[in-house]
Amino acid sequence: MAQMRALLPSILIVLTLTVIPLVLSRSLPSTTALLDVTSALRQAHNVLSVEPRTTPLTQQEETQQQHSSSSSLVLQLHPRASLLKNKPLQQPDYRSLTLARLARDSVRVDSLVARLDLARNRISKSDLKPVDVEVERQYGAKGLQGPVVSGTSQGSGEYFSSLGIGSPPSQVYMVIDTGSDVNWVQCAPCADCYQQTDPIFDPVSSSSFSPLSCDTKQCRSLDLSECRNRTCLYEVSYGDGSFTVGDFVTETITLGSAKIDNLAIGCGHNNQGLFVGAAGLLGLGGGSLSLPSQLNATSFSYCLVDRDSDSASTLEFNTPLPPNVVTTPLVRNPQLDTFLYVALTGISVGGDRLPLSDSLFRLDGNGDGGVIVDSGTAVTRLQTDAYNSLRDAFVRGTRELPAADGFALFDTCYNLSSKGSVEVPTVSFHFGKGKELPLPAKNYMIPVDSNGTFCLAFAPTSSALSIIGNVQQQGTRVGFDLANSAIGFVPNKC
């Protein structure tokens, strides 16, 4: 027996020695990734099918609503495509759908860059014109007719959650947005409201509705506000022609089974910008008026399901991330507290690190540069040098694949119509200290039509700001640990 005991440690050592190399080699990212062409195309066809859902979304919502324990709050999260599923066919084919998405995406990127420029040029609140509903209405209408997309079927917002507003709660769909802070809903009486799916929220029917006075902390935290009759008016412009103007109030919000009182929200009487039928917007940015800030959340996380899928995932507050998370510092911009920056240090393609100066991704003291994680941008934008380097390495690794013409903002495309699956070089983000996040192939080789044209889904930007978009985040739980200033990525965790 004593002998056995003495033997045990050495057996353990032997076991450990044999097990460790196996685990290591398993977890080493491979230099190529498999792209399932057939399944990507099947999903592309599916998103266009007009087959009605068997269960209405709101009913699914109720049955799926997770009753979370302790302080965590869990909301269902849906991609845009699943919300539009029961509407008359919006796009005739997948090619048009992709073109519309990419057009929206360019507008989104422009508006983020404009927001940052405004903050960096330190335009003070008093320099901005006061709220002028008439001017805004004209500006909004003009902005929407721009070169971008025609028709009212387009709109901002790519992912949505449902929550309750007021007492008793009215259940409504909201766009989620990591690129802004102010939460708002369309409110009766409407001076000008866009079409939404749920009935418009009427403050008269809510016992918890309460206007904020002008001298409150919340009112003073707004970028654009005005005082009328000592109550606070707010305005938010998104830089793409979308805006919302109305009363800044406090309301009770119901998230899953949790009620939160006195949340500062905008009650928008004049709203332009087609938020795809959503009742309003949830700001998940880093500013003091955002939902996570007002909830005093120590963390929040979301998982973006595939943009073409019918399934839902969750938006969670105060839920710890699992242990296999790849973490990196959450960096703040002293010029603008809204954006959530990640400390990206490099990118590799096919296992080889791109020869890029890491200053290319660094946020400088003037608030210039840096890399943000955004839920509303689709395609990751990199500074031109970084993009060119990535593209060249990817092209070198895919010489055997049949090339196709460029498509919209994509310059690297392939004709995979005769393939069931292909191997492509693995693209990984690096975060320093050996931390690496290899992306699944479908997060950077995406179909752009339904007959087999796939493109490398990265794009160059002339701005110093880089953006990690939702195509690259798909299927990954992205967690913002606000208490410890860290961002975490958990692959395959929707």
Ligand X SMILES: *[C@@H]1O[C@H](CO)[C@@H](O)[C@H](O)[C@H]1NC(C)=O
Residue 356 interacting with ligand X (CB under 6 A) = no
449 contacts ligand X (rule: CB under 6 A): yes
What span, in angstroms and rounded, lies between the C-alpha atoms of 444 and 450? Answer: 17
**Closer of 31 and 415 to ligand X (Cβ):** 415
Q: Is 223 a catalytic residue?
A: no
CB neighbours (10 Å) of residue 398? 19
Element spanning 440, H or E: none
Question: 190 or 356, CB closer to ligand X?
Answer: 190
Catalytic residue of the set 105, 223, 374, 481: 374
Please state the closest distance from residue 342 (CB atom) to ligand X, in A: 26
Q: Which of 296, 384 has the CB closer to ligand X?
A: 296
Question: Which window, 53-61, 306-314, 324-332, 443-451, contacts ligand X (CB under 6 A)?
Answer: 443-451
Q: Binding segment for ligand X among 22-30, 74-82, 368-376, 448-456 (CB under 6 A)?
A: 448-456
Residue 462 touching ligand X (CB under 6 A) = no
CA 220 to chain centre: 27
Helix (H, G, I), strand (E, B) or coil at 109: helix
Task: Return the axis-axis angle of helices 94-120 and 37-48, rounded to nearest 10°.
Answer: 90
Task: With beta carbons less than 8 A apart as the criterion, state whether 229 and 192 touch.
Answer: no
User: Do you find a cis peptide bond into 168, omega within 30 degrees of 0?
Assistant: yes
- Least gap, CB of 389 to ligand X (angstroms): 28
Residue number with CB closer to ligand X (143 or 164): 164
The active-site residue, picked from 177, 223, 247, 449, is 177
By CB under 6 A, tell whether 55 contacts ligand X.
no
Tell me which residues in 150-179 interact with ligand X (CB under 6 A): none
Q: Positive or negative, the Cα torsion across 253, 258, 262, 265?
A: negative
284-323 residues in contact with ligand X (CB under 6 A) are 295-296
Please check whether residue 217 is in contact with residue 374, taking contact to mean a CB–CB distance below 8 angstroms: no
- 421 touches ligand X (CB under 6 A): no
d(CA 380, CA 9): 50
Q: What share of the chain is helix, strand, coil (3-state, %, to 5)?
A: 25, 35, 40
Closest CA to 358 of 367, 349, 369: 369
Q: Residues 217-256 vs ligand X: string with x where CB under 6 A?
A: -----------xx---------------------------
Q: State in angstroms the smallest separation of the CB of 138 from ligand X.
A: 22
Task: Identify which range of 161-169, 310-318, 357-365, 447-455 contacts ligand X by CB under 6 A.
Answer: 447-455
Question: 486: how many CB neighbours lie within 10 A of its CB?
Answer: 18
Does position 415 interact with ligand X (CB under 6 A)? The reply is: yes
Residue 31 in tokens: 């230099």
Q: How far is the CB of 293 from ligand X (least distance, A)?
A: 9
The answer to whether 90 contacts ligand X (rule: CB under 6 A) is no
Tokens representing residue 196 in the block:
């939404």
CA 69 – CA 423 distance, rounded (Å): 42
The full DSSP string for 320-379 is: PPPTT-EEEEEEEETTEEEEEEE---EEEETTEEP---GGGG-B-TTS-B-EEE-SS--S
Contact region with ligand X (CB under 6 A), list: 63-71, 160-168, 214-222, 414-422 = 414-422
Which residues partner with 268 through β-bridges?
A: 186, 246
- As to burial, measured by CB atoms within 10 angstroms (0-12 exposed, 13-18 middle, 19+ buried), residue 148 is middle
Which of 49, 63, 418, 462 binds ligand X (CB under 6 A)? It is 418
Query: Any contact of residue 450 with ligand X (CB under 6 A)?
Result: yes
Q: Considering the rule CB under 6 A, would residue 180 count as an interface residue with ligand X?
A: no
291 versus 490: smaller Cβ distance to ligand X: 291
* Binds ligand X by CB under 6 A, chosen from 78, 80, 95, 108: 95
Q: How many residues bind ligand X (CB under 6 A)?
A: 14
Q: Is 269 in the site for ligand X (CB under 6 A)?
A: no
The residue range among 22-30, 318-326, 339-347, 410-418 that interacts with ligand X, by the rule CB under 6 A, is 410-418
Looking at beta carbons only, is 95 or 391 nearer to ligand X? 95
Q: Write the single-letter amino acid at 31.
A: T
Our answer to whether residue 177 is catalytic in this structure is: yes
DSSP code per residue over 2-61: HHHHHHHHHHHHHHHHHHHHHHHHHHSPPSEEEEEHHHHHHHHHHHH--PPPSS-HHHHH
To ligand X, the closest distance from the beta carbon of 114 in angstroms equals: 31
Say whether residue 260 binds ligand X (CB under 6 A). yes
Active site residues: 177, 374
Q: Which residues bind ligand X (CB under 6 A)?
A: 93, 95, 228-229, 260, 295-296, 404, 415, 417-418, 449-451
